[in-house]
Amino acid sequence: MATGYKMPKDFLWGGAVAAHQLEGGWNAGGKGVSIADVMTAGRNGVPRKVTDGVKDGEIYPNHWGNDFYHRYPEDIKLFEEMGFKCFRTSIAWTRIFPNGDEAEPNEAGLKFYDDMFDDLLAHGIQPVITLSHFEIPYHLVKEYGGFSNRKMIDFFLHFAKTVFKRYKNKVKYWMTFNEINNQTAWSDPHPLLQNSGLELGKHDNWEQAMYQAAHYELVASALAVQAGHEINPDFQIGCMIAMCPIYPLTAKPQDIMMAERAMQKRYWFGDVHCRGEYPAWLPKYFERKGFDMDITAADLATLKAGTVDYVGFSYYMSFVTKDQGDDPEYDFKEPDDFVENPYVEKSDWGWQIDPTGLRYAMNWMEDRWHLPQFIVENGFGAYDKKQADGSVHDDYRISYFRDHIKAMEEAVALDGVNLIGYTPWGCIDLVSASTGEMAKRYGFIYVDADDNGEGSFDRSKKDSFNWYKDVIASDGENL
């Protein structure tokens, strides 16, 4: 057993999920269709398809998830057994506003979260809530073009205020947009749809559309932060950034400049969330590219007045880039300008495993944003094998967590980073966001379901369950 540093007694150990990836019940209780409901099952290396509405004969894994909608009391008991202090999930926007543009919310949807949050609280677990986690109402995509439309700010704010008011005595920690910066890879249509409700084919200039949508999201987020603080001054409202640090391949100065621009292009979202201002390079970039952006003086004032209380972030991997010799302006382009890191191993899905990168990233964010941090996702997607006796020996997952938790504890104990909590991703097996598989498993809890939704959906403990339970019980000392 490795020894870690003890975390404070009030440290929020827990687990993380998102509504659309585990609830199922996709049309139960008056729920509307979200973008996750029109994405089919892919596989490792096989992209998901997006269909024009829900079609017969297609497989939509988010329609059943892991059936948490019907089974959550059993799952919450298992979370309590592991010692969870918090549980991060999202509120499915389409349970509350099935189409997204209604004036009145759907009471059955509100009640579902009331009951679930009450159950969590009764087991000593506080909910940590993401408002928009890849589940924009599909109607808002078709009728309004998602966040390419300024009207989305109002729809989002109406949703945010509705749930802030309803759960103001049950939820303290909130986040506005999940992985808002995860839409910077130009060749992948899914993040653009998942984050912003943008259909790639509808925009001539993909990149301008992405920056415009992100701007409206940042304004919506800043307005939500202000509204939330009025509703309950104790609310802690954070952003949520996909943190994958990008290193230069070598000490060649041009590689360093390329990595600097790569970091700017991936993390300016955090600059706006945390500092309330666009970084200096970005207006210059818009100008040079000839992007005609709708950014008003009133927007800029809103951004300044609605900075976040903390930085929520996911950490799975790091990336590497180098100067390719063909880009005098260092306009890093993701993913073309990524190169492999010769010093790290990869998961079966090609995600580079780099625990030191977590400590590096926490230091980098502390220096840049000076805010409390909350690791709201970290984990290892793997093919698990259930043995005949029901056990799952996931030592590879334990090893990933051990190394990452150690790096996290070093950032706190040795480097002084102010960290609120740690919620590993997919603490119970669920549907993968990128591939739509069940086979890419993250959980401490195994769910007996396959990619086609076949199986008993019974829950069982993997070896990592008891390991993580001991980590929490020892305040992070026993790793």
Nearer to ligand P53, 106 or 314 (CB): 314
Determine contact, residues 334/272, Cβ cutoff 8 Å.
Answer: no
What does the alpha-carbon distance between residue 293 and residue 309 come to, in Å, rounded to a whole number? 27
CA distances from 174 to 363, 429, 475 (A): 23, 23, 24
E strand spans, 243-349: 246-248, 310-314, 319-321, 338-339, 345-346
Encoded tokens for 92: 């499915």
Q: Which of residues 223-242 bind ligand P53 (CB under 6 A)?
A: 242
Nearer to ligand P53, 166 or 441 (CB): 441
Q: Which of residues 417-436 bind ligand P53 (CB under 6 A)?
A: 425, 432-434
* Least distance to ligand P53, CB of residue 191, Å: 7
Contact code string over 154-183 relative to ligand P53, x by CB under 6 A: ------------------------xx--x-
- β-strands 373-377, 419-422: how paired? parallel
The enclosing H or E element of 375 equals: strand 373-377
User: Of these, 440, 441, 459, 461, which contacts ligand P53 (CB under 6 A)?
Assistant: 440
Determine contact, residues 313/365, Cβ cutoff 8 Å.
Answer: yes
User: Of these, 199, 334, 377, 429, which contacts ligand P53 (CB under 6 A)?
Assistant: 377
Return the closest-CA partner of residue 224 out of 237, 214, 241, 242: 237
23, 135, 179, 437: the active-site residue: 179
Nearer to ligand P53, 7 or 361 (CB): 361
Nearer to ligand P53, 4 or 312 (CB): 312
Determine contact, residues 429/438, Cβ cutoff 8 Å.
Answer: yes
* Least distance to ligand P53, CB of residue 149, Å: 24
Contact code string over 270-299 relative to ligand P53, x by CB under 6 A: ------------------------------
CA distances from 237 to 12, 228, 231, 306, 434 (A): 15, 8, 12, 10, 26
In the annotation, is 179 catalytic? yes
With b meaning 16 or more CB within 10 Å and e meaning fewer, what string describes 227-258? bbbeebeebbbbbbbbbbbbbbbeeeebbbeb
* Number of residues near ligand P53 (by CB under 6 A): 16
Encoded tokens for 414: 């040795």
* Least distance to ligand P53, CB of residue 18, Å: 5
Nearer to ligand P53, 36 or 222 (CB): 36
Nearer to ligand P53, 185 or 293 (CB): 185
What does the alpha-carbon distance between residue 449 and residue 68 come to, in Å, rounded to a whole number? 12
CA distances from 292 to 211, 286, 289, 296, 332 (A): 10, 8, 9, 12, 20
Return the closest-CA partner of residue 464 out of 439, 437, 434, 442: 442
18 is an interface residue for ligand P53 by CB under 6 A? yes
* Least distance to ligand P53, CB of residue 259, Å: 18
Residue nearest to ligand P53 (CB): 434
* Least distance to ligand P53, CB of residue 375, Å: 12
Nearer to ligand P53, 350 or 390 (CB): 350
Q: Which of residues 381-400 bind ligand P53 (CB under 6 A)?
A: 381
What does the alpha-carbon distance between residue 162 and residue 96 come to, in Å, rounded to a whole number? 9
Q: Which of residues 26-55 bind ligand P53 (CB under 6 A)?
A: none
* Least distance to ligand P53, CB of residue 178, Å: 5
23, 217, 334, 377: the active-site residue: 377
Determine contact, residues 381/180, Cβ cutoff 8 Å.
Answer: no
Contacts of 284 (CB under 8 A, 6+ apart): none
* Least distance to ligand P53, CB of residue 461, Å: 21
What does the alpha-carbon distance between residue 114 and residue 120 come to, in Å, rounded to a whole number? 10
What does the alpha-carbon distance between residue 142 and residue 188 come to, in Å, rounded to a whole number? 20
Nearer to ligand P53, 351 or 457 (CB): 351
Q: How far apart are the first and last CA of the chain?
A: 6
Contact code string over 302-341 relative to ligand P53, x by CB under 6 A: ------------x-x-------------------------
Q: Which of residues 55-74 bind ligand P53 (CB under 6 A)?
A: none
* Least distance to ligand P53, CB of residue 190, Å: 8
409 is an interface residue for ligand P53 by CB under 6 A? no
* Least distance to ligand P53, CB of residue 70, Å: 21
| C-alpha R_g of the chain | 21
Nearer to ligand P53, 12 or 16 (CB): 16
Positions annotated as catalytic residues are 179, 377
> Given the rule CB under 6 A, which residues bind ligand P53?
18, 21, 134, 178-179, 182, 242, 314, 316, 377, 381, 425, 432-434, 440
